[in-house]
A and B are shown apart, each in its own frame.
Chain A
Amino acid sequence: MRKILLATTAVVATAVLGIADASAQQAPTVRVGGYFRFNYAFTDQDQGAGASRSTTSLGKSDFASDAEIHVIVEGKAANGISYGATIEVQTDQNRAAYSTSTINGGSFTGAAPAGQLSANQAVATKTALDTDEMYVWVSSPTAGQLRFGDEDGVVLGALANGFITNFGTGGVDGDAWDNVVGSNYRPAFIAGGYLNDSTKIVYTSPQFFGFDFGASFGFNDGEGEDSGCEIFGTNCDRAGSYAYGSARRKNEVQAALRYRGSFAGVGLAATAGFIGSDATKNTNVAPATPVGSANGLAVGVFGLQATAYGATVGANYAIGQSNAGLSLLQDGVDDRALNNLFVGASYTIQALTIGANANWQTSAGNVNNPAARKDQIWSVGANYALAPGLALVAEYTSGSTKEAGVDRGQGVGNKTEANVFITGIRMAF
């Protein structure tokens, strides 16, 4: 499969780079763009019950800031080829403000003990910068565009559709979950950019009669430079198997077809796509840990949205072989398919945009438990543009997660819930 994609990529690369038509050359430009936001968040979340209840309790109010810096390079060669690069630097979603010296007396360097943070999380500060997407691209008017680097694939990236997030901070896919502590208290969902920005090659076609299509391929789910490890282990980008740890995606392939058109003043856009992958193999066959290997992803994604008179409505449906939130589905007694529905609507009048969205997801959850995991989120919000690039936002988001027979923090079979109100200001230049 990957040979096919690489071969087709080479064909297109030849076509893109081989164009010789005369065209106006444009010297490259370098731009710096940025984003900053400041939020007040009132977070009312469950904090455990019974044996899961922590001895540390949480307050409800907090301020939080976030920023991005984008470097954007664009140019056009005399033969008509456009080219460029984008490097996005961000303050990442670093949840831990601990140093290594505060955990296990400073000896904490490896995998996390049960219930504790991983080494990467432990050394992270909430103010650290890292790269988000970074890629170089070349494009021709007739052959399409190739991108090389760290970014989303075509299904939940370039050609994604149906995710209405242009109000508040994004609703279901907004800032609410930055404020909720504990992965058990954050419901799973699927939205644009939900898979990580693994290093990959992306091809997108020109538009023909309203249709364009694309495909992407990455050898694994590793981002950034280098191998990801210094000793052989599951952290290595090229990891092929593991004995203790988690399965990772290998040979991730995405393909999507998008249509955009206008009918009687209504703009329509639709996307159908497929996300597939292999998975690293579990070599741990000890009887005490009868855990099988994971299955690769095989998920179909379908998005549709319509825009008219300032209103936009959309929906995105994903179904296929995956566990919650497009994580790999481990072998177990419960191998049900992932089902995810995202719906949203927004309306813009003058400087005000209001909207709402929601997400429902069922998945296997704990594969050794026969019941389904159910996650749901809904959100309403608004933003008001004080000036182009400067907006006030307000949003309320409520989410819950539950799996019968499993303790997700509030006792076996009970629902875990988090409700977040956010108001803040954000700007972009």
Chain B
Amino acid sequence: MRKLLALGLILPLVACGYGRQVQNDEYFDDSQRARVQGRLGGSDGILLLGTDRSTPQGGAQDGGALGVNAYLWRATLDTLSFLPLTSADPFGGVIITDWYSPPSTPGERFRATAYILGRQLRSDGVRVTVFRQEQRGGSWVDAPVAQSTNTDLENQVLARARELRSQSASR
């Protein structure tokens, strides 16, 4: 009873909290269907009505309907989400951002290009290249970027991919 009362006190706090929303596929599912890895056709069921906006279910390791590894793809999108997106090709595994100028340094701007190199979750499966320009005399000119910047971003992508993989595997 005391535990339930404590739970009752916690629940209203949850409404004001900052937790991460748990998706339905993170809950245990005891159906026989849930025990089969992947889905024929790559998507979770046959869409009868509406527009498909979901990420592929099952077979997430190899990306399902994606042409590249789903974890690396999602992780790259997450990592580069601070930049405005110009194009994202999930089949070719190419993500290209637009130029972005941080408010703190309006005299320089960045853009990034990311390539997901395959369907396997590997440490060499992603390449990120960052471009930098500086404003000189009213026009933007190319400026060098430290090689460690690209590596750091790749490491962030890999860390995020590993996190997504762990979350998925522990369901």
Residues of A within 8 A of B (CB): 1, 4-5, 7-8, 11-12, 14-16, 26-35, 37, 66, 68, 70, 72, 74-75, 84, 88, 90, 132-133, 137, 139-145, 152, 156-161, 163, 165-166, 169-170, 191-193, 203-208, 212-213, 215, 253, 255, 260-262, 265-269, 274, 305, 307, 312, 353, 383, 385, 387-391, 426-429
Within 8 A of A (CB), among B149-171: 162-163, 165-167, 169-171
B156 to chain A, nearest CB (A): 15
Provide the bound-state CA to CA distance between A66 and B18, in Å: 43
Whether A4 and B36, one on each chain, are in contact in the complex, defined by CB atoms closer than 8 angstroms, is no
A-B contact count (CB 8 A): 219
Whether A389 and B39, one on each chain, are in contact in the complex, defined by CB atoms closer than 8 angstroms, is yes
Whether B32 and A37, one on each chain, are in contact in the complex, defined by CB atoms closer than 8 angstroms, is yes
A185 to chain B, nearest CB (A): 22
Whether B166 and A391, one on each chain, are in contact in the complex, defined by CB atoms closer than 8 angstroms, is no
Main secondary structure of the interface of A (DSSP, over half): strand
Main secondary structure of the interface of B (DSSP, over half): loop
Cβ of A90: which chain B residues have Cβ within 8 Å of it?
A: 32
Please list 12 pairs of residues, one from A and one from B, whose beta carbons are closer than 8 Å in the complex, sorted by A's number: A29-B51, A30-B50, A143-B14, A143-B15, A207-B22, A212-B22, A215-B4, A255-B7, A267-B165, A267-B169, A388-B39, A389-B38
Cβ of B1: which chain A residues have Cβ within 8 Å of it?
A: 1, 4
Provide the bound-state CA to CA distance between A267 and B171, in Å: 10
> Across chains A and B, which 8 residue pairs bring their CB atoms closest together, nearest first?
A388-B38, A193-B30, A206-B19, A15-B15, A29-B50, A31-B45, A33-B45, A267-B166
For residue B136, CB closer than 8 A to chain A, the reply is no
Cβ of A193: which chain B residues have Cβ within 8 Å of it?
A: 28, 30
Q: A30-B50, A204-B22, A307-B169 are in contact. Are A132 and B31 (CB under 8 A)?
A: yes
Whether B27 and A142, one on each chain, are in contact in the complex, defined by CB atoms closer than 8 angstroms, is no
Within 8 A of A (CB), among B41-63: 41-54, 58-59, 62
Q: A29-B50, A206-B22, A255-B4 are in contact. Are A35 and B44 (CB under 8 A)?
A: no
CB-CB nearest in chain B for A270: B170
A209 to chain B, nearest CB (A): 9
